[in-house]
Amino acid sequence: MAVTLNASTSSGLVQTADTSGTIELQSNGTTKATVSSSGLAIGQYNPSTSLVTSGTAVASTSGTSIDFTSIPSWVKRITVMFDGVSLNGSANIFIQLGTSSGVVSTGYTSTSITLNSASGSAGASSTNAFLVFDGTASYVFEGSCVINLVSSNSYVSSHSYLINTTNIVIGSGSISLGGTLDRVRITTSNGTDTFDAGTINILYE
C-alpha cells in the first residue's frame, strides 16, 4: 500500500492515505513514480528537453583559433565535434581548456597518433594542449573529442577522428586547471596555420 496522488481524467485529483511511508504519483490510476524509504523510482524518465546542451556551430573556414566561452560552471563533460574540419598547413590541432583567467597552454599530458589501415602509424605528444595529430594539410577531420571532469578541476580527454578513407587519429590526455573551466579553444600547434574548411561545435552536459 501507499499514499497515492492520482491525476484522474474523470475526477481530477484523487488522494488516498495510509501509514506505509510510501507515496505514489499516478496518471489516471497508473503509478509513474514512487517515493519510499529506499528512494525515488521512476517508471519512465521522459524529459521534455535534452540534458545535453549544444553550443553554436561555427564555420571553421577562417581564423587561427576558435573559442567557445561562457561554459557554465556545472559542466562535467564537453564534446568537441569536427565535421569536415581542415587546416591550410601541416600543424597539429590543439584543444585547450581555460578559466576566467584565460586559456591554459601548459601542464597538459597528451599524445595522439594516426593509424593507417595499410602502413602503420605516426604521432606526436604535447604539454601545451590536448594534441590532435595532423601532419598534412590534406587531412579532413570527422569525429569528436570528449573531455570529462574527473575531480576538482582535473580533466581527461579522449578523441578519435576519421581523417581520410584509410586513416584515423586517436589520442588521450589530461590537465589539472587552476580554476573552474569556462572556455575551450581549438587552435593549431604553430599558431599561424588557419582553418580552411568544415564546422566545429561543442556539446556540454
Partner 1 sequence: MNRIEINVVTGEQKVIELTAEEIAQAQTQYAEWLANQPTKEEQIAKLQEQIDAIKGVA
CA distances from 84 to 43, 144, 154, 199 (A): 41, 11, 30, 7
70 binds partner 1 (CB under 8 A): yes
Among 6, 34, 55, 134, contact with partner 1 (rule: CB under 8 A): 55
56 binds partner 1 (CB under 8 A): yes
Based on CB atoms, which residue is closest to partner 1, 21 or 191?
191
128 binds partner 1 (CB under 8 A): yes
Separation CA 84–CA 58 (nearest Å): 12
62 binds partner 1 (CB under 8 A): yes
63 binds partner 1 (CB under 8 A): yes
Are 154 and 175 in contact, with CB atoms under 8 Å apart? yes
Residue 193: all three cell numbers together = 596555420
Are 98 and 184 in contact, with CB atoms under 8 Å apart? yes
Site size toward partner 1 (CB under 8 A) is 29
Among 2, 22, 33, 67, contact with partner 1 (rule: CB under 8 A): 67
Among 2, 25, 113, 124, contact with partner 1 (rule: CB under 8 A): 124
Residue 166: all three cell numbers together = 584509410
Are 56 and 115 in contact, with CB atoms under 8 Å apart? no
If one counts every other C-beta atom within 10 angstroms of the C-beta of residue 104, the result is: 21
Q: Which range, of 7-15, 28-36, 111-119, 189-197, touches partner 1 by CB under 8 A? A: 189-197
Based on CB atoms, which residue is closest to partner 1, 10 or 70?
70
Based on CB atoms, which residue is closest to partner 1, 161 or 195?
195
CB of 72 to partner 1, least distance (A): 7
CA distances from 44 to 33, 88, 205 (A): 8, 49, 21
Separation CA 54–CA 42 (nearest Å): 27
**Residues 74 to 103: which contact partner 1 by CB under 8 A?**
91
Binding site for partner 1 (CB under 8 A): 53, 55-56, 58, 62-72, 91, 105, 124, 126, 128, 185, 187, 189-192, 194, 202, 204
